[in-house]
Amino acid sequence: MIKNQLRVLFLTVAERRERATTSAGLIDSIRADRPDMTDAVFYSPLSGNSAYTLITEREVFKAPLEKDQHDDFHAEINILKFLEGKGLPVPAVTCTGEYPLYYGMTRLPGVVAGCVIATWTPEQQRDLGRQLAGFAKAFDAALDEEAGRGFVAERSPFMHMMYKIRSAWRKFEDPEVCKLLGKDVGFCMGIMDAYSDRLANDKGKQIICPSDFHEENILVDPVCGHLHGVIDIGDVQRYLPEMLASRIAWFFGDHVAAGVVDHFAQTLQDFKSDDYHALRLIEGLEVIGCGKEDAQRWGMGVIADSIAAMKQANEPKLKNVSFPQKAQGVRHAP
């Protein structure tokens, strides 16, 4: 213990900045700031795309991998501090350090959903979707309008949606893609034509919530499936509920997404399930024809499910849609 205290006590600020580029250096900095952590045991999982992460018995510490990520880290710290005491299952900030930049937060219970969700029944997965939708709505409610504007990312998900739509339209120029779609190519083009403009421009009821609902950021009870927490919430964006459901489907699959759709359809008066299925069809189109067998199989499955759902829904809008039989004169933008 004494040896550890002496070693970190005499680290200069410059040395701490330099050593923080490794997990060992970050541990030294934490121990210099937090004498109570001198003999703590740190576990270092694989680093993510933007952070070093260190885990102890009761706390988790994060530090940016690169200097240009400091603004993102300050944003997450500010969001977590703002949400403290508002009843959301997110960590509470326990400490911050500036040389180097890092912060500590409470360690939430549960395991990451990605480790267990494949063992759950479809209904358990669907229930997780309902819980995630409830979390998104509670997160949105916790931010007043002024705070929401301050935390939301400058880049708009609608810009990303326009990219997806353009990418999907281009796929109809590929004879191989049209061959894969077969008799459904006309139906897919008709759906694109009917829905693209509104999906790229709809500014209806939006939900402010974290953008990264990756399965590694969701903490759950491995047995009963209760949602214990959501982490990595620094990137906050505005989503249409249909867009958020589609994004969660991208990370978790259709069973979880079905629970999101259930919750929004029951609690949001203007939720449009057909928009959700159109979004999923666009995402399926976006990945087919890329040359990767797994992605192509996934994309075709999503397209087939979306077509079946939209035909079953029998929306009045579809009665007025023209379904061309050949992909000619395809436009590239909504």
> And the tokens for 250?
């991208």
pTM equals 0.81
Nearest to 214 by CA among 79, 112, 122, 83: 112
* pLDDT score of 5 more than 60: no
- CA dist 64 and 101 (Å) reads 7
Q: What confidence score (pLDDT) does residue 134 get?
A: 96
Q: What is the pLDDT of residues 65-116, one digit of tens each?
A: 776 667 778 888 999 999 999 999 999 999 998 777 889 999 999 999 999 9
Give the residue ranges of DSSP H helices in the chain.
2-9, 13-19, 23-33, 70-83, 122-142, 145-151, 157-171, 175-181, 185-201, 241-252, 254-267, 273-287, 293-313, 316-319
The residue ranking higher by pLDDT, 111 or 5, is 111
The single-letter code of the amino acid at 177 is V
Percent of the chain with pLDDT over 70: 80
Q: How far apart are CA 89 and CA 260, in angstroms?
A: 18
Domains belonging to the chain, first-starting first, are 2-106 (3.30.200.20), 111-319 (3.90.1200.10)
Report pLDDT digits (tens) over 270-324. 888 888 898 899 889 988 877 678 888 888 999 999 988 888 765 545 444 444 4
Which two structure tokens, joined as six digits, stand for 26? 């970050």
Q: Which tokens sit at 50?
A: 């933007």
Residue 253 has pLDDT above 70, yes or no: yes
Question: How far is it, in rounded angstroms, from Cα 144 to Cα 147?
Answer: 5
Q: Is 86 left (phi over 0), alpha (psi -120 to 50) or beta?
A: alpha
Q: Cβ atoms within 10 A of the Cβ of 13, count?
A: 11
pLDDT at residue 144 tops 80: no
Residue 141 corresponds to which amino acid? A
Q: What is the pLDDT of residue 328?
A: 37
